Amino acid sequence: MSGYNGPGNPYGQPQQGPYGQQPPYGQQQPPFGQQGPYGQGPQQGGPYGGGPGFGGQPQRPARLGAGIAAGVVTAVVLGAIYAFILGQSDDKYGYITIGVGAIIGAVVGKVGGKNTALIAVGALLAFAASFIGEYFGLLLNYTENTPLTFSQAMDAFSFSSYIEDYWGDAVDGQDWLWLIVCTVLGGAVAKTVGDKS
């Protein structure tokens, strides 16, 4: 028969001290990098159940309307600049349309984000800015070299005449090349920038 083991311990088992107890419910704190309770890995998210604190940022949702609006404003501004440049000189500056298309596409893709429709938007706006900008550039040049006012020049050289006569007969293959490159760049840059936004 064993000796006296103190009150409250009739079976002679040694008692754990108040600071030597195991964690409640038999769970142990998993070390860093190992699975936690219920088979889940260690939490690496930010506070309050958010996403990664220092990880990759979530992809920004596409904003079609904002991309179109920003592209229209940019096309109007660049088209006006292009028209002004053409109006001050008798030379053609078709290579400028490359920059026009690239800038419009970049703005559309950056603001609109990743959206397939913005490829067509960038291409269309790049074409319109160059095509219409050249028309107004010719009108400005016409008023510089004739006594006609701008409105009179528009009556003498209408937009339909610009399409039928100028682009139908007066332009050469290089003019068409610049316009095609500008259009393609508008769509391609919009896609590239949009995918990275």
Question: Which is more confidently placed, 151 or 100?
Answer: 100
Residue 149 lies in a domain: yes
The pTM for the full model equals 0.66
Residue 56 lies in a domain: no
Residue 188 lies in a domain: yes
Residue 49 pLDDT more than 50? no
Q: Which domain holds residue 158?
A: 64-196
Q: How do residues 13-36 score in pLDDT, each as one tens digit?
A: 555 555 555 555 555 555 555 555
Residue 29 lies in a domain: no
- pLDDT score recorded for residue 163: 78
Span 50-60, mean pLDDT? 50
Residue 85 lies in a domain: yes
User: For all residues of the chain together, what is the average pLDDT?
Assistant: 78
How many separate domains does the chain show? 1
Residue 116 lies in a domain: yes
Question: Which is more confidently placed, 84 or 1?
Answer: 84
* Residues with Cβ within 8 Å of residue 9, at least 6 apart in sequence: 15
Q: Where are the alpha helices (DSSP H) in the chain?
A: 64-87, 96-112, 117-145, 150-156, 159-161, 173-196
